[in-house]
Amino acid sequence: MTGSLPAGVERQQFDGDERLATRGQSVYGEPTDGEWRAWDIRRSKLGAMLDRRMETGLTGGETVLYLGAAAGTTVSHVADFAGPTYAVEFAARPVRDLLTVADSRPNLFVLLKDARKPETYAHVVEPVDVIVQDVATRGQARVANTNRRFLKPNGRLLTVVKARSEDVTADPTDVFETFRSQLEGYEILDTERLDPLHDDHLAVVARPTR
């Protein structure tokens, strides 16, 4: 499958290299050129998915639920091209940085919550077009399953399965197969390993079936 970039994401030249970029305030020391900021795909699994032209279904302007936002490296780029973006992060320290990122992005809403407990933020999050899941925890399929409630019927789940977070001793291929078997209420549309940019990571695009 060959996907196009969403509106608001373009390939721009930075120091002679063509890189993905969005318009917005710099967050993590990335190169900038005028209003454009480079998207470091070595630090962003979603960036790597877009760079490899996976069919993410992103077109720009979507409402997004981002699970595992950390300090905002990737979700800042998402908020640059998306509509309302709910950023869920469990750890208090990165949330402080994330709040700074949100200062210049009025569409970015920071939630100090646990992605494994969506009932704690269900009263805040509206139905979304896209769930981006980037969590380093056991039970990554369970996180996707329990957050499906927020996804519109024609929405997309964009997740990256981190094999070492599930089981550091298991063969990553086995971990990925287990994830596929445990994903409930979704149809998987596309998968791709992100090596060597992100070792032992599998990118998955899925849509809800109910």
Binding residues: 73-74, 89-90, 114-115, 134-137
Where are the strands (E) in the chain, listed by range? 9-14, 17-23, 32-33, 36-38, 64-67, 85-89, 108-112, 128-133, 151-162, 186-193, 201-208
Mark the binding-site residues for S-adenosyl-L-methionine, compressed into ranges: 73-74, 89-90, 114-115, 134-137
Taking the C-alpha atoms of residue 190 and residue 206, their distance in angstroms, rounded to an integer, is 7
Contact (Cβ atoms closer than 8 angstroms) between residue 205 and residue 45: no
Write b or e for each residue in 94-104: b if 16 or more Cβ atoms lie within 10 A of its Cβ, otherwise e.
bbebbeebbee
- Residue 46 makes CB contacts below 8 A (sequence gap 6+) with 56, 74, 77, 78, 132, 134, 158, 160
Find, among 185, 207, 194, the residue nearest to 160 by Cα: 194
Six-digit token pair at 174? Answer: 């086995």
The β-bridge partners of 198 are: none
Give phi and psi for 62, each to the nearest 5. Answer: -70, 155
What is the rounded CA–CA span in Å between residue 154 and residue 115?
22
CB 142 within 8 Å of CB 174: no
